[in-house]
Structure 1
């Protein structure tokens, strides 16, 4: 007869945690918050067990999160990587639970606990996969598709490809390499960028990041894309919630019939619900419904049709699978948000996209904009806009130690400590200020 107390099965304990901040080359891309810096910051987390099995993850980087990760080491070292519930409880007890309002007004998420736990969870799942000789997709319930589709992600941008010389250009570049460094500030530039990206990667749908210019200019770009690609290529548009309510309704109506969905035209669930009632076009969000506590009011108000998940911001891969079930229950669709990521985050997105029970909209990805990589074997290859699900144990990717060291040196050399698109924009337009609602 056994007692009611759960019996812990002995497994490999985590003995080391390595936290490596890196900086990766990023072009001068425009958005509602300003301008991308010449480098995007990421943090690579590596957990090593007593039997020297390594698990890795990647999250958006800044020095504050890095300090929190260092603090979290004492809570995670000595833990069994299979005991994620216990790890999460200890992190919550130490750092405290976070409310959705801590996300901030910027287009990116400024909470820390979701970043910390997602970093630990993905690395633990990588270890679990290697211990069990199964890919992460199997740990999420199993593979529902062999390939995961992505969308072309267009940006208004200044000339240049990022890095040490922010406006560096190669006069001999052709194809996507040339488009990646070219300026794109008008509809013709956006169409040229889309054509080059789709030729290079085979994307079957297109998204434009807006919020950088007045609405008429950006809406004209959407109609130019429709003219260039025809109705068979789905289009999406994201003004980053910078429009006023009346602007969202006015220009949303103008684009009815050409958009697959309109993402975050306005700020807040109540305004999103008003736009949703005024339009026939589905609304997607990565800014008004961004946590589980947001979901009841989002459902009650009817603020969106599609939630754009992000395992970095929703608390990991397993939490994202829970989100998919909630979306299915309440008649919502699901896709994925992206940030300036490398192959570790991309691999995690692919495993999650393959495990989702319902085929997602093609996922967002900044990956074509990045030129660096931190995984062995170089960068992932897209075929017809999709990536094949890795079959190797765990995430199916391993750290390139030499590349990691070089990208860490980039971090030390560039002097950036956090993402601040307003500061970068002020280098081009002195005095420029971010406004949560501009037009």
Structure 2
């Protein structure tokens, strides 16, 4: 069996209402859906977390034509420079590009074996995979502490959700503190509350905020400040655990924070490297879960990996409830009572919805990549939060 072609399709995945985050206005996300086709007619699916690697994926596809899709190590050696170079002195986007292709190669491997990915990874330690509901300040939606709290209560009543994570990002420390108080009052003492500020706060402001919210049992705070070093100082003032999207395990171990790394498998270089990374996290006592905003292909990979990896014990993030489209049949995934069931089909266990893929590709062509950084009130300007 040989690789015949690699196809890469950029798509937009809009949210029902734009969310505010540190970078500005978050109306949704843009991804690249990868299809690796073999000469036997099998097609493996992958997903890149951003469209900046589109051309690199296509170039790698030309290099991989005629290669054995089951020989993943050979495919990597043909397209990715030595690891120490891409991690330190080269453009690490090649890792992300190959990571998307590599997920598709694992999908093919599962289809050849007739087994779901989690079985190829050693079998399932769980099949009900937990995800948090998301909350935040949304344009045309929840823009006050009371509204955010009411939304979460509604999610609990309708969907059985008791695990929540969100961004309270409008540049106002008091607003964040008041919203946390409203959430805990409305949800009671048992429901999970995690926060994510996307490196919004200065160290003095973060010290102030965490001092005020610590009594309200915050399960985790993601990237409360801009660097691991600042997290190290912040740890001396708060017992709340920290997480980050920056997958620098060596630095996390050296400094002692953050407690968890939250990332995407393509960012790590694919399934094989993610398995090794998670194993290193387990050895060093650093937790791991998966981040949010992906289409159904990457989410399926999260489901299988979380099923097979005992170390992933905390719920991963999700924007499932807010995503108005997807590229897989039956998507987007939706959790009930906090969980999504791992797919049982071969490989990733998902199939493309060709009509949906065409719709969201057309959205990308018409509108361009969904813009996460600009302020809609000031055309051509980046969002600037008040200094705090």
Fold in common (TM above 0.5): yes
Aligned to 2:234: 275
Tell me, yes or no, if structure 1 residue 79 matches structure 2 residue 56: no
Q: Is the 8 A contact 2:60 2:98 kept in 1?
A: no
Matching residue within 356, 359, 383 for 2:336 = 383
1:184 aligns to what SS in structure 2?
A: coil
Matching residue within 281, 296, 300 for 1:343 = 296
Q: Is the 8 A contact 1:264 1:285 kept in 2?
A: yes
- Long gaps (5+) in structure 2: none
Matching residue within 374, 377, 380 for 1:428 = 377
Separation in 2 of the partners of 1:96 and 1:71?
A: 22
More strand by share: 2
1:380: Cα distance to partner? 2.8
Separation in 1 of the partners of 2:232 and 2:384?
A: 22
Separation in 2 of the partners of 1:436 and 1:214?
A: 9
Q: Is the 8 A contact 2:196 2:223 kept in 1?
A: yes
Q: Is the 8 A contact 1:137 1:355 kept in 2?
A: yes
Matching residue within 134, 158, 169 for 1:211 = 169
1:206 aligns to what SS in structure 2?
A: strand
1:302: Cα distance to partner? 0.8
Tell me, yes or no, if structure 1 residue 307 matches structure 2 residue 240: no
TM-score by length of 1: 0.82
TM-score by length of 2: 0.92
Q: Is the 8 A contact 1:241 1:437 kept in 2?
A: no
Tell me, yes or no, if structure 1 residue 329 matches structure 2 residue 278: no
Aligned to 1:362: 315
Aligned to 1:91: 79
Q: Select between 388-397 and 64-73 the one with higher mean Cα deviation.
A: 64-73
Rate the CA distance shift 1:336–1:438 in 2: closer, same or farther, 3 A. farther
2:69 aligns to what SS in structure 1?
A: coil
- Alignment coverage as a number of residue pairs: 386
1:68 aligns to what SS in structure 2?
A: helix
Q: Is the 8 A contact 1:244 1:437 kept in 2?
A: no
Separation in 1 of the partners of 2:41 and 2:82?
A: 27
Rate the CA distance shift 1:438–1:143 in 2: closer, same or farther, 3 A. farther
Separation in 2 of the partners of 1:324 and 1:97?
A: 21
Matching residue within 49, 56, 77 for 1:60 = 49
Q: Is the 8 A contact 1:97 1:113 kept in 2?
A: no
Matching residue within 389, 394, 401 for 2:347 = 394
Q: Is the 8 A contact 1:276 1:304 kept in 2?
A: no
Separation in 2 of the partners of 1:71 and 1:371?
A: 31
Separation in 1 of the partners of 2:75 and 2:157?
A: 44
Structure-to-structure mapping, 1:160-239, within 5 angstroms: 183-239=141-197
Rate the CA distance shift 1:40–1:308 in 2: closer, same or farther, 3 A. closer
Tell me, yes or no, if structure 1 residue 29 matches structure 2 residue 19: yes
Matching residue within 223, 230, 236 for 1:264 = 223
- Long gaps (5+) in structure 1: 1-11, 104-110, 160-182
2:194 aligns to what SS in structure 1?
A: strand
Separation in 1 of the partners of 2:373 and 2:297?
A: 28
1:387: Cα distance to partner? 0.8
- Post-superposition CA distance 1:5-51 (Å, at most 9, x none): xxxxxxx11101111112233231110000023x5322111011110
Separation in 2 of the partners of 1:18 and 1:433?
A: 33
1:197: Cα distance to partner? 3.0
1:235 aligns to what SS in structure 2?
A: strand
What is the RMSD computed on CA atoms of the aligned residues?
A: 2.3
1:354: Cα distance to partner? 0.7
Rate the CA distance shift 1:81–1:277 in 2: closer, same or farther, 3 A. farther
